[in-house]
A and B are shown apart, each in its own frame.
Chain A
Amino acid sequence: MYLEVITPDKKVFEGEVESATFPGTDGFFQILNSHAPLISTLGEGPITYVVKKEGKDSVTVKGGVVEVLNNKVVALVESLVEEE
């Protein structure tokens, strides 16, 4: 499936991933291939995604919304939390 993580300032990540975990407002959840259409709000925490060859990576975000539709996942993030 295709994942896009964007903030109003820039595109944080874009590419094919195996799975992605999101910090939903009601708790973390994972999206795998062929997930049913979903819209969820995001809280604060890391978005972790697995890229086929490169392995796991994550960005820490704060607030936003994610939409899953036809194997395309778009995360609209309000702001990024810079890692120390």
Chain B
Amino acid sequence: MANLKEVKTRISSVQSTQQITKAMKMVAAAKLRRAQDRIIQMRPYAQKLEGILVGVSASLDIEENVFSEEREINSVLIIAVTSDRGLCGPFNANVYKSTNALIADKYAGQFKEGGVTIMPIGKKALDYFTKRDFKVEKKFGELFARLSFNEAMKVAEFAMNGFEEKEFDAVEIVYNEFKNVATQIMCTDQFLPIVSAEEGNTSVSNDYIYQPNQEALVEHLIPTSLKIKLYKALLESNASEHGARMTAMDKATDNAGDLLKELKLKYNQTRQAAITNEILEIVAGAEALG
């Protein structure tokens, strides 16, 4: 039988762990709300922009854009989006796994030649990829501390410049897409060159006045829509992180509860055993005397 005191210490340690996980769950829930609000905040902008872009480019051939140029792929930039902190279940590990799978599936040849650069966003990815044999672009590793569209813009501009100057022939983003609190979907999106969107039948009948002209407008809008795309990926990942942490912490709290139940049972058993023992001793002693 375990020592009574030992069990007692275990119980109090599990209890305090449970308190921590409970608190973390609550914090994650609050942060999740905020992260979701940001996604909702961005949505009208993205939709409007998309609408304008589709309307303007409907009558134009946008295939000639710099960002949709398909070249032979010699070097690739992979943007891997994780979180800054751990304790969120398989959230980060999934990103590593998908990144590795992406390299193995699609860019094995380039990887051998050293043509794969990883740009981690989030401290976890930064640590992971720096420790291993990857070519890492560290500039934006700690972006989540101050996530805003301006920061996302810098990342997008870096990738777009690299693509324009033929430093990278393709750019991919690996991130968690937010479906709901409990579900995150791993997403691997090709960021550049632009995959031409499916031809939607958009009947744009408004005779807009275009300033300065349609071509210039499209040229102006495409980079913006790319930035929005990246920003969206970051926001999704951010919301997913908090969702994942919330679920992980909820499970941890439940597990701690189960453990506590077991430990309490054990404690009571041990206590009862000790009492029985004591009584036996007294009875035995009394008998010996009598």
B149 touches A36 (CB 8 A): no
A39-B228 contact in complex given A65-B52, A79-B150, C-beta closer than 8 Å: no
Within B181-229, the residues touching A (CB, 8 Å) are 206-212, 216-217, 220-221, 224, 227-228
Chain B residues within 8 Å of A, Cβ to Cβ: 38, 41-42, 44-46, 48-49, 52, 55-56, 148-150, 153, 206-212, 216-217, 220-221, 224, 227-228, 231
B49 near A76 (CB under 8 angstroms)?
Answer: yes
The contact of A39 among B42, B217, B227, by CB within 8 Å, is B217
A40 vs chain B, min Cβ distance (A): 3
User: A7 — which chain B residues lie within 8 A by C-beta?
Assistant: 45, 149
Q: Is the CB of B217 within 8 A of A8?
A: no
A-B contact count (CB 8 A): 82
In the complex, how many angstroms separate the beta carbon of B127 from the nearest chain A beta carbon?
28
Complex: A67 Cα to B48 Cα, angstroms: 9
Q: Given A8-B42, A10-B41, A11-B41, is A41 in contact with B48 using a C-beta cutoff of 8 Å?
A: no
Q: Which residue of A lies closest to B227 (CB)?
A: A78
Q: Are A26 and B148 in contact (CB under 8 A)?
A: no
Shortest Cβ distance from A80 into B: residue: B150
| Chain B positions within 8 Å of A41 at CB level | 211-212, 216-217, 220-221
The 10 closest A-B pairs by CB, nearest first: A40-B211, A8-B149, A38-B209, A41-B220, A37-B208, A8-B42, A37-B206, A39-B208, A8-B45, A9-B149
